[in-house]
């Protein structure tokens, strides 16, 4: 029997990848591609629109969180996420730049890692409404693996001023 790990992936985009009509269509195609690379997406949250963090003149982002399972380890899973981003045309230039696809490994089976190439849970997930609100739509019982803080408490502690709304 294969052992699998439950994981959560933050996904978003504020540019449309080549060959797709919308950022959402690109994100949904990326989720399907993950399934061909050993990361099975089980469920996806509703989509949200959010202003860039930090604030900038970029277009708003479309964001969601996906729950998945994999038989791979965390490092390999992160490499798969980067492979999919590259396939869809993600260019890693400057931090917080506009992008056609962003896939973040938020939580990997509750594991805690502090390495230069892999930090789990994601180091800024607790500061981002565009992660916490869709995550609550999937699993309201989730707690931060490192601090043990429940999801609802993290949401009440979010920094002020983040603009976010459910996508139409």
Alpha helix stretches (DSSP H) within 47-159: 74-87, 129-138, 151-156
**Alpha-carbon span 19 to 22, nearest angstrom:** 9
3-state secondary structure of 82: helix
Hey, which residues does 68 pair with through a beta bridge? 7, 41
Percent of the chain with pLDDT over 90: 85
Domain boundaries of the chain, sorted by first residue: 5-166
pLDDT in tens, the chain (168 residues): 789 999 999 999 999 999 999 999 999 999 999 999 999 999 999 999 999 887 888 999 999 999 999 999 999 999 999 999 999 998 877 777 889 999 999 999 999 999 888 999 999 999 999 999 999 999 989 999 999 999 999 999 999 889 999 998
**For the domain bounded by 5-166, which CATH number is listed?**
3.30.70.560
């Amino acid at each position: 029997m294969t052992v699998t790990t439950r994981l959560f992936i933050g996904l978003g985009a504020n540019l449309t990848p080549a060959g797709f009509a919308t950022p959402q269509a690109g994100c949904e195609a990326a989720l399907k591609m993950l399934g061909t690379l050993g990361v099975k997406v089980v469920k996806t949250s509703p989509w949200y629109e959010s202003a860039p963090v930090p604030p900038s003149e970029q277009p708003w982002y479309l964001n969601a969180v996906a729950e998945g399972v994999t038989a791979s380890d965390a490092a390999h899973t992160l490499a798969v996420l980067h492979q999919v981003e590259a396939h869809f045309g993600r260019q890693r230039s400057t931090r917080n730049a506009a992008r056609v696809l962003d896939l973040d490994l938020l939580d990997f089976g509750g594991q805690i890692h502090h390495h230069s190439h892999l930090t789990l849970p994601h180091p800024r997930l607790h500061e981002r409404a565009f992660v916490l609100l869709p995550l609550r739509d999937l699993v309201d019982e989730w707690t931060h693996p490192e601090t043990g803080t429940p999801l609802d408490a993290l949401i009440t502690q979010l920094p002020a001023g983040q603009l976010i709304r459910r996508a139409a």
